[in-house]
Amino acid sequence: MIITAVELREIRLPLIHFFETSFGRTTERRILLVKVNGSDGIAGWGECTAGEGPFYCDEWTETAWSTIKTFLAPMVIGKEIANAAELWDLMSAVRGHRMAKASLETAGWDLEAKRLEVPLWKHLGGVRNEIGSGVSIGIQETFEALAEKIEVELRAGYQRIKIKIKPGWDLEIVRRLREKFPAMPLMVDANSAYSLADVDLFKQMDQHRLMMIEQPLAHSDMFDHAELQKQIETPLCLDESIHSVEDARHAIQLGAARIVNVKLGRVGGHTQAKKVEAECRSRNVPVWCGGMLEAGIGRAHNIAMATLAGFSLPGDVSASARYWAEDIIEPQVTVSANGTILAPNKPGIGFEVNLSKIDKLTVRREMIA
C-alpha cells in the first residue's frame, strides 16, 4: 500500500458536561483528525488523543499537528508499505510524540483493513466481538452530583465505575460512596496527584475494596509506585508511566503495576499496543482500554483494540452520548444493558465517518502530499 497524502483537520467539539481530573477541567475538545489517502482511492482515519494543553503528558494538539506536518507525514508518504505494522518503523527517527505517531499509524491500520475488506478488530487479531465497558467520572462540584451520575451509569448497565481523585477529593468521597453503593465495582484514578508521602492515605483506601488505584504517583515514575505497592493491598494500575512494551515489562518486573491501562495514543498506535497487550498477557497481568475523551474515530479504534485477548477487564470506552450531543461517526457508539459494546462487522473501523458533520466542526485543514 502507498499513502499518497495525509489530511489534517482540527475540529472543536464541546463536551456535554465538563470533565475534571487532578490536572484540570476540559469543557471543549480540540481534536486533530488524520485522514490517510491510499493510492487506490481508499482512505483511512485516525484521531489524535493529545489534549488541549500539555497536562496529561507533554504532547498537545499543536505539537501533534506540527510534528505530523513537518516530520511524520513526509516519512510515510509515497513509501511502498507492505503492512500497517511498518508505519511505526518508518517514523522511528522521531523520538517521543507517540500520540502524533499513533494518529497517523491508526489511520494506516484503518486504511489497510478497508483495503482487505475486513473489520479492523479481526485484522488486529481480536478474539471477541463484544467488549466490557466501564465509565470514568470526573471530579464533581459535590458528592451528591457524583452519586447521581453513578446511579445513572449503573442503571445503564456499565460494568464498573472509575472516579477521579485529587487531594481533598479522595478518601472521604470513596468512604461515602462505599456506604451508598456497597457492592459496585469501583476504582480510582489520581492522574499523578500524590507522592510517597501520602502512603497512609493509600493504606486507608485498602478498606474500601477498590478494584485498583490508577497512577497515584508521578507521571514518569515506576520506582515509587513499586514502593507504594509493597505497602498496600489494592492493586496499582499504571497509565501515564507506560509508553512502550519495555515500560510495561519494567513496571511488572519492578512490582509497580499489577494491572496496565493501554491507550493507543500513549503507546504510539496499534502495533505498539499489541506488543504491550502480548507482554502483559504472557505475564498474567490484565490490561484494559483507557480513554482520552475521544470522538467517534478514536472511540472506534479503541473498541477494535479492546477485542484483543488480554483485555480482560472493562475499560473506559463508553457510549458516544455520554460525551457528545452528536458524535462524528454513524452509528453512534452505544452500550448494551449488560455494559458491553459490540465491535462492528464492517471493514476497517466499521463506523461511517460523518463528513458533513466534520466539515461543520472543522476550524483548520491542511493537505500534506
293 binds, among Mg ion, ligand OSB, none (CB under 5 to 8 A by kind): ligand OSB
Q: Does 294 bind Mg ion (CB under 5 A)?
A: no
Instruction: Single out the residue of 13, 293, 308, 343 in contact with ligand OSB (rule: CB under 6 A).
Output: 293
98 Cβ contact partners less than 8 Å away, ≥ 6 residues apart: 59, 243, 265, 266, 267, 268, 269, 272
Contact present, 244 and 221 (Cβ < 8 Å): no
- Short-list 45, 98, 112, CA closest to 355: 45
Question: Which cell numbers in the block locate residue 236?
Answer: 496499582
Cβ distance to ligand OSB smaller for residue 7 or 189: 189
CA atoms within 13 Å, Cβ hemisphere of 143: 13
- Rounded CA-CA distance 308/294 in Å is 20
Q: Does 239 bind Mg ion (CB under 5 A)?
A: yes
Amino acid at 152: V
Q: Candidates 198-206, 237-245, 303-311, 334-342: pick the segment binding Mg ion (CB under 5 A).
A: 237-245
Query: How big is the CA angle at 291 (ends 287 and 292), to the nearest 5 degrees?
Result: 145
- The three state secondary structure string of 41-64 is CCEEEEECCCCCCCCCCCCCHHHH
Q: Taking the complex as a whole, how short is the minimal distance between the CB of residue 272 and ligand OSB, in angstroms?
A: 18
Contact present, 289 and 317 (Cβ < 8 Å): yes
Q: Does 292 bind ligand OSB (CB under 6 A)?
A: yes
136 binds, among ligand OSB, Mg ion, none (CB under 5 to 8 A by kind): ligand OSB
56 binds, among Mg ion, ligand OSB, none (CB under 5 to 8 A by kind): ligand OSB
Q: Does 112 bind ligand OSB (CB under 6 A)?
A: no
Cβ distance to ligand OSB smaller for residue 166 or 250: 166
Residue count at the site for Mg ion (CB under 5 A)? Answer: 3
Q: Does 191 bind ligand OSB (CB under 6 A)?
A: yes
Active-site residue, from 35, 122, 164, 275: 164
Active-site residue, from 263, 274, 275, 357: 263
- Short-list 317, 304, 314, 339, CA closest to 128: 304
Is 274 a catalytic site residue?
Answer: no
67 Cβ contact partners less than 8 Å away, ≥ 6 residues apart: 94, 97, 100
Contact present, 195 and 172 (Cβ < 8 Å): no
Applying the rule CB under 6 A, the residues between 222 and 261 that interact with ligand OSB are: 239
**Site track for ligand OSB across 53-72, x = CB under 6 A:** ---x----------------
Cβ distance to ligand OSB smaller for residue 21 or 61: 21
Cβ distance to ligand OSB smaller for residue 191 or 320: 191
Q: Taking the complex as a whole, how short is the minimal distance between the CB of residue 214 and Mg ion, in angstroms?
A: 5
- Rounded CA-CA distance 88/268 in Å is 8
Contact present, 245 and 279 (Cβ < 8 Å): yes
Instruction: Single out the residue of 108, 119, 185, 291 in contact with ligand OSB (rule: CB under 6 A).
Output: 291
Amino acid at 164: K
Residues that bind ligand OSB (CB under 6 A): 21, 56, 136, 189, 191, 239, 290-293, 316
Which positions are annotated as active-site residues?
164, 263
